[in-house]
Amino acid sequence: MLEYSLLYPLNTETRTALKLDGMWRFALDWKNEGDEKNWKNHIPGHDTIPVPASFQDFYTDKKIREFAGDMWYETDVLVPDYMKGSSVYLRFGAATHRATVYLNGEEVAYHEGGFLPFLADITDKAKFGESNRVVVKINNELNETNIPCGLTVTLSDGRKMVKPYFDFYNYSGLQRSVYLLSTPENSIEDIDLSYSVNGKDASIDYEVRVKGDDDVKLSLYDEEGHFVTEAKGRKGIIIVPDAKLWQVRASYLYTLKISLVRGNQLIDSYQMPIGIREVRINGENILINGSPVYMKGFGKHEDSDIVWRGFNIGVMKRDFELMKWIGANSFRTSHYPYDEEIYRMADREGFLIIDEVPAVGLFESLANFFDAGTGKGAKSFFSKPTIPQLLKAHMRALEEMIVRDKNHPSVIAWSILNEPESTDANSLPYFTALFEKAHELDKQKRPRTFAMEVNSSPTKCHCYKLCDFIALNRYYGWYILGGNEIDEAENKFRAEMDEWKALHLGKPFIFSEYGADTLPSEHKLPSVMWSQEYQVEMLEMLHRVFDSYDFVKGEQVWAFADFQTTDGLMRVNGNKKGIFTRQRQPKDAAFLLRKRWTNLPLNYKC
């Protein structure tokens, strides 16, 4: 059994999934004494905090908000008697960045990596029919041996402080739902799916992993719940006659029911929505079901008022409605995998996702958003002695992401890094190992890429040839030749694009980031940087360049909404490049993009 959860938690005929969300007891370990004083048995004090949520911004004390170190969560869980004889787990949707889980004072799990789920097996530890104390120690320090990367320093008063190598706030805690799960002792553990469309029919190539020796049966149902077809065996092909395909912004979801049976006895049951669709790169085109697609959308963050990076189902609904209103069809999960509910929503709404592992900050700069964007700050990151340990953590995060997200029809590509120092020759073996691992793990063999900052130019980048499509983060007109030099920025941008064109790569390009910081209160005629008018003018300039090159097959503006960052002279209470405010209201640029995107055909430039 892998340490992390493979299947989305469901209640079925044979399984139970009980959410443990709510107010948990909470304590910050200011003196680093929790281990010595056995807080694993019971944490001190009477403070409580919501789960899921980030801990920082509930408080009015700056020292609490900026706390770095160990924080402790505690709750009491009744494990029902009816779970006896089952396998019983605690499932954590995410714990940022590393967590140790205790049940009744005994360690039951450790996990490093702050944006993917993991399990604590408590089958032999739980007291059934009684209350069990769950304590979780979480550490939010940053280092160069885990992703995302950064530093943790000690201030003169003894407090620790994180210094990220990335441009978003280091929100942390139990930021996604926690479940108590029970599954049969013999159970369905995982399934791999891939699809092939053959005229009106389709085939589903499947492989089910189970614990135990029981037989496997699969049944497929349409959206109205009508039976379509079935198959038997742990591995095989399901033929779907007159298949209804999952399409961009026009999804169709079948339900696949998987049963583990022993004669006529049902041992385990699991069901999942699936979308039949093929993803391929053909020359300079991105193909969904054989048809070319132009990607329109955003880089985003899980970031909103009150719960911060904690999952908020209402914010999710609002975000999708705004993306539909503006004419978007895609987004990148910058810069980490999002909550599973967002992928399920994208499956239903027909959005395309570039799924990104949390590999940001692999470029040593405490102002990565500025130094990287202007060509400064290169320090041979991939020559560091910490690289072997970092690669191991990166590989683990990549595997956890692909295992969790591989069966979502919305997920059409993997982004393996964001703005790494790929100008360092030592980056190539590091990147190669990751790209090969992604291909090995993914039965569907989705396209792979990484988001390249401006240093990763055609003449300096050592790794772009690994990509199935090229993803560029470019800030011409903002970090590069902004304001009155915007015409020069356009010329410089076109010069770079001409260099890419001269390589004749025969691959599609997308712009995975582009944009300008804009205060919603600022208007200026003529425009100046930070005004809404300038954001519009700069986007218009960038779009002119995009439209001039046939191999550009997508644009994902940075960013969907304003978001919180670390304090700094380049930020006014966060990153203000949002097309929408942090409260999800439109800036002027939203109307520009709505006009453009609702008029661009899906097969634009194809």
> Which residue from 486, 371, 467 is spatially nearest to 421, judged by alpha carbons?
371
Residue 111 forms beta bridges with which residues?
A: 99
State how beta strands 552-558 and 295-299 pair.
parallel
- Cβ proximity of 75 and 20 under 8 Å: yes
Tokens standing for residue 96? 């940022």
Residues 398, 399, 404, 406, Cα dihedral to 10°: 90
Cα–chain center distance at 440: 20
Q: What is the DSSP string of 277-308?
A: --EEEETTEEEETTEE--EEEEE--S-BTTTB
- Euclidean distance between CA atoms 505 and 301, whole angstroms: 31
- Euclidean distance between CA atoms 90 and 51, whole angstroms: 14
Cα–chain center distance at 288: 21
- Euclidean distance between CA atoms 83 and 146, whole angstroms: 36
- Residue 419 is among the residues annotated as catalytic for this protein: yes
Question: What residue has token string 């055609």?
Answer: 458
- Cβ proximity of 340 and 8 under 8 Å: yes
- Euclidean distance between CA atoms 98 and 206, whole angstroms: 34
How would you label 388-421 residue by residue, b for 16+ Cβ within 10 Å and e otherwise?
eebbebbbbbbbbbbbbbbbbbbbbbbbbbbbbb
- Residue 513 is among the residues annotated as catalytic for this protein: yes
- Catalytic annotation, pick one of 278, 400, 419, 496: 419
Angle at 229 between CA 226 and CA 232, to 5 degrees: 135
- Cβ proximity of 140 and 385 under 8 Å: no
- Euclidean distance between CA atoms 211 and 395, whole angstroms: 25
Tokens standing for residue 193? 């799916």
Q: Which sequence positions are flagged as catalytic? A: 419, 513
